[in-house]
Amino acid sequence: MQPTLEQLRERYGARYKWLVLLTVMIGTMASIMSSTIVNVAVPDLSHHFALGQERAQWVSAGFMQAMTLSMLTTPWLLLRFGLRRTYTGAILLLLAGGVIGGFSVNYPMLLSMRVAEGLAAGILQPIPSIVVFRAFDNKQRGTAMGIFGFGVVLAPAIGPSLGGFLVEHFGWRSIFFVVVPFCLVVLLMVRRLLAVNSPFMGEAKSLDWKGLALATVCITSLLNGLVQLHHDLARAAGLLALGAATLAGFVAYQRRAEHGLLNMSLFRYRQFAMGALVAFIYGAGLFGSTYLLPVYMQMALNYAPSQAGLVLLPAGIVLAVTIIFAGKLSDWVAPNLLVSFGLILLALSLGLMALGKIATGYFTLIALAILGRIGLGFVLPSLSLGSMRGVDVSLIAQGASAINFLRQLGGAIGVSLVGIVLEWRLSLYPTVAPEVSLRAFNETFLLVALICASAVLAAWRMMPVHRPAE
């Protein structure tokens, strides 16, 4: 018989909430690692399946699209099934995607397993933020988010580094199996630490299938429309128009839906509305650059996969340390100041990347990556805390899911945009000279830097207020 919540709290005392946070942190680390580890294998996958950049980027974009959509269902799943069963189901799906994906015999099979992993990751992503806001008081939330962030940001740093080594020595299939040990450990921890009578359970209304269908059509149309811009302008225009129409329909429907996927009243809070805009723009820049950097190092600078992956490891370690400091600082400094400062550093890092040359040294690239990750360390804890401060407690689960949803939506669009712009710029320079290929990458880096810089305007207005704007 599984212990109840009361029994577990009695057994572990004050440290129980930290153990629950550790459990959800490891699972989220596994899902984040699965999202970033594949980036370093894009050149190998392109060669193995004979893919161009516009198709190869779907390995990342498909994952992120699925993640974005499934995030909208997390509050409903928690209310309907509780934390234990929701988390267990998502981890099992992630495990299946990793194992089956590693044995893929064709590109559609590979892509479908990436979508399965993305669905699992989307359910997992908002849960730690919900746990922090439900289990910790105001004085501990910044510290808890910092500690959680330490593990979460370490995953995308370790992922490409480990992935580069595996791809170089064991081939691209090996990267899918990395999540297996993480998933097995989490399943054991879930069994020991998560109660059957979850505090997140409640009266779950029926899932908003109409809203989910509109969101699916909208995101799929927008991403496919971006891809078609390079091939068929008429078809691209039709898909983008469909995406815009379904977006308008989704917003209108959510405003009047009694139990919609996205509670539009959240956007009456100015700090939340500005934080949501920052999350979208910042997600596009961050994930676009995370996809671009390993491809850039292999295709433009001719580094081996292990070297391309390793460039992010020192930056990830610095980020992990920075985010703990920034998490504590966010309890005392206005979030809009910390987020703005972090975005400026991130944009500066990407702008300097755009000035790269063939002679640019490996350690210079590491230093630029570190600069960007320091900026990222200031953004992550402050963005979540700043967006949610003053929001009614009944909206916390919806708000955490919405911020993650918009960041991942921006990320999916950012990855697609980077792949499309890169393919376009490469096609304009038909010569195979390394300097010409490098020029195409530099122009793409500049685009991503401008995207990140534009988020500063919204971040500055993310002032902490305590009541909805009239």
Query: Over the chain, what is the mean pLDDT?
Result: 80
Distances (CA, A) of 138 to 24, 270, 389, 464: 20, 20, 9, 14
Query: Would residue 470 count as lying in a domain?
Result: no
Nearest to 424 by CA among 236, 222, 174, 275: 236
Report whether pLDDT(1) > 50.
yes
- Residue-number span of the structural domain to which 237 is assigned: 209-258
pLDDT(432) > 80 = no
Give residue 434's pLDDT: 58
- So what's the pLDDT on residue 57? 65
The answer to whether residue 237 is domain-embedded is: yes
Q: Are residues 156 and 51 in the same domain?
A: yes
Q: How far apart are the first and last CA of the chain?
A: 51
Residues 78 and 176 in one domain: yes
Q: Is residue 465 in some structural domain? A: no
Tens of pLDDT, residues 16-62: 778 878 888 888 888 888 877 777 777 777 777 766 655 666 777 78
**Considering the domain boundaries, does residue 450 fall inside one?**
yes
Per-residue pLDDT for 348 more than 60? yes
**Domain-terminating residue out of 258, 290, 319:** 258
* In-domain check, residue 130: yes
Residue 308 has pLDDT above 90, yes or no: no
* 249 part of a folded domain: yes
| DSSP character string of 46-99 | HHHHT--HHHHTHHHHHHHHHHHHHHTTHHHHHHHHHHHHHHHHHHHHHHHHHH
- Distance between CA atoms of residues 98 and 161, nearest Å: 18
Distance CA 402, CA 2 (A): 32
Q: Is the same domain home to 170 and 186?
A: yes
pLDDT bin (cut points 50, 70, 90) of residue 248 is: very high
Same domain as 149, residue 85: yes
Pair (106, 239) in one structural domain:
no
Q: Quick one: pLDDT at residue 55? A: 66
Is the pLDDT score of 254 beyond 80? yes
Do residues 308 and 360 share a domain? Answer: yes
Specify whether 251 is located in the same domain as 386.
no
pLDDT digits 0-9 by tens, 91-128? 999 999 988 988 888 888 888 888 999 999 888 887 87
Let me know whether 228 and 349 are in one domain.
no
Tell me: pLDDT of 435 over 80: no
With both helix axes pointing from N to C terminus, report the angle between 362-388 and 127-135 in degrees, rounded to the nearest 10: 50
- Residue 227 lies inside a defined structural domain of this protein: yes
CATH number of the domain to which 38 belongs: 1.20.1250.20
Tokens of 368: 């630029």
Question: In terms of domains, do 294 and 237 share one?
Answer: no
Angle between helices 138-170 and 127-135 (to 10 degrees): 160
170 and 287, same domain (yes or no): yes
d(CA 401, CA 261): 10
Q: How many whole angstroms separate alpha carbon 16 and alpha carbon 211?
A: 37
pLDDT digits (tens, 9 = 90+) for 367-409: 998 998 898 888 877 887 778 777 777 777 678 778 877 887 8
CB distance 410 to 279 below 8 Å: yes
Number of domains in the chain: 2
In a domain, 45, yes or no: yes
Q: In sequence order, which residues have a C-beta less than 8 Å from that of residue 200 and are 6 or more positions away?
A: 78, 79, 82, 83, 130, 134, 397
Neighbours of 26 (CB within 10 A): 19
Of 167, 189, 190, 191, nearest to 178 (Cα)?
167
Same domain, 231 and 363: no
Most confident residue range from 8-12, 245-249, 297-301: 245-249
Comparing C-alpha atoms, which of 427, 330, 436, 345 is closest to residue 388? 330
Q: Which of 238, 258, 278 is the last residue of a domain?
A: 258
- 166-205 pLDDT, tens per residue? 777 887 788 888 888 889 998 998 888 777 656 555 565 6
Amino acid 302: pLDDT: 80
Q: What pLDDT, on the 0 to 100 scale, is given for residue 467?
A: 47
- Judgement on whether residues 215 and 109 belong to the same structural domain of the protein: no
